[in-house]
Amino acid sequence: MRALKTILIILLALLALFVILALMGPKTFRVERSTVIAAAPEVVFNRVGKLEEMKNWGPWQAMDKDQVQHIEGTDGTVGAVWKWEGDTVGKGMQEITAIVPNKSVRTRLTFLEPMKAVNEGTYDLEPLGDSTRITWGLQGENGFLGRVMNLFMDMDAMIGPDFERGLGNLKLLAEADAKAIAEQQAKMVDGFEVNIVERPALWYLGERKRVKWKDMDAFYSRVLGKAMGITHAAGVQPAAAPSGLFYAWDEDGQEADMMAGIPVPVTATAKLKGMTLVEVPAGKAYVIDHYGPYANTAKAHEAIDKKIKADGATLGPVVIEEYITDPAAEPDTSKWLTRVVYPVK
């Protein structure tokens, strides 16, 4: 009987100690980490505001590559849910509960296995000139058992390193995005994307002469028709699309020194007789893909000219238009693709 009393006293003492520890333990917790990313808030937010993107930089993906996961609802909006289940990462879900574009995201994190818990994820973006500080946090309330555990476990030390790895991944991705956007913006001139490419040498079979603007359609039709006939008879496949080569453009006289021609392989030039063969050497060129009627390509020419001057490049002796779309096959002129090419020295 005395032994039973002793055991009961010990149990009551342990229970009292447990209650005291629980009362002493913190009622809430928060773990957070921050980093500065050399990218605008909207660029960083593109990687933070969607659950699918969070998967790309989150630190736990590499821990369990065999985990099963899927997203329900419309990603990037309140109510979207990301569910996962795996041997290492356990079972749980994350739901977007609030979102302010380019500023903040709030999520409800529900852990089902190996331990049950419901916490809040926070993602806050602060603009810093041309950079952004992002603060990633996890916070919640400690239950009775959690208060005791938090006296002996350092949540910050347990979770903080994972946050640091995740933010490191995010920084690499967002800064690469920012670099790609800057490169893309540098190509844009008056709404056109100007690309700089290395072009191979091309030979053109056709005819060169001074042509009045009003006579260009007839000139193209006659010369290209004849050139196509010669290549077909010789069994030669064109090397690229039918083209116009412009050596001079006379605004006052409304005429051009130009050539209409079919690009042909250099290996086939000996087979082609009856028309002029002209070579445009290999080299660097500024290029715009213009969609629309031929008469509207003037703006594309102006944009390339502006870009060449801004870059301090030197224009070569010829300007080329490649007529990628066959007008006979595509009646909608808005879909006609003309590649405007400015070789430079």
User: Tell me, what CATH number does 335's domain have?
Assistant: 3.20.80.10
Q: The tokens 């056109």 sit on which residue? A: 192
Alpha helical stretches, state H, the chain: 2-24, 41-48, 51-57, 144-152, 155-187, 216-233, 298-311
> Within this chain, do residues 168 and 275 fall inside the same structural domain, yes or no?
no
- DSSP character at residue 306: H
pLDDT of residue 43: 97
pLDDT of residue 88: 76
Q: What is the pTM assigned to this prediction? A: 0.72
| C-beta of residue 339 within 8 angstroms of C-beta of residue 333 | no
Helix axes 144-152, 2-24, angle to 10 degrees: 80
> Within this chain, do residues 130 and 202 fall inside the same structural domain, yes or no?
no
> Within this chain, do residues 112 and 214 fall inside the same structural domain, yes or no?
no
Provide φ and ψ at 176, rounded to 5°: -65, -40
At 74 the three-state DSSP class reads: coil
What is the distance between the alpha carbons of residues 345 and 334, in angstroms, rounded to a whole number? 32
Q: Which residues, including other chains, have CB under 8 Å from residue 35's CB and lie 6 or more apart?
A: 133, 134, 167, 168, 170, 171
User: If you average pLDDT over residues 21-35, what whole number do you get?
Assistant: 70
Residue 116 domain flag: yes
> What's the total number of domains in the chain?
2
Q: Is 193 left (phi over 0), alpha (psi -120 to 50) or beta?
A: beta
pLDDT tens-place string over residues 307-341:
999 999 999 999 999 999 999 999 999 999 999 99
**Domain final residue, candidates 137, 160, 185:** 185
Above 50 in pLDDT, residue 225? yes
Residue 14 domain flag: no
Residue 221 domain flag: yes
Question: How confident is residue 84, by pLDDT bands cut at 50, 70 and 90?
Answer: confident
pLDDT of residue 67: 80
pLDDT of residue 39: 97
Above 80 in pLDDT, residue 3? no
pLDDT of residue 267: 92
Question: How confident is residue 141, by pLDDT bands cut at 50, 70 and 90?
Answer: confident
DSSP string covering 198-258: EE--EEEEEEEEEEEGGGHHHHHHHHHHHHHHHHHHTT---SS--EEEEEEEETTTTEEEE
pLDDT of residue 69: 85
> Within this chain, do residues 199 and 169 fall inside the same structural domain, yes or no?
no
* 108: containing domain: 25-185
Question: How confident is residue 14, by pLDDT bands cut at 50, 70 and 90?
Answer: very low
> Within this chain, do residues 164 and 277 fall inside the same structural domain, yes or no?
no
In sequence order, the β-bridge partners of residue 81 are: 72, 95
Nearest to 200 by CA among 36, 343, 48, 12: 343
User: If you average pLDDT over residues 197-204, what whole number do you get?
Assistant: 96
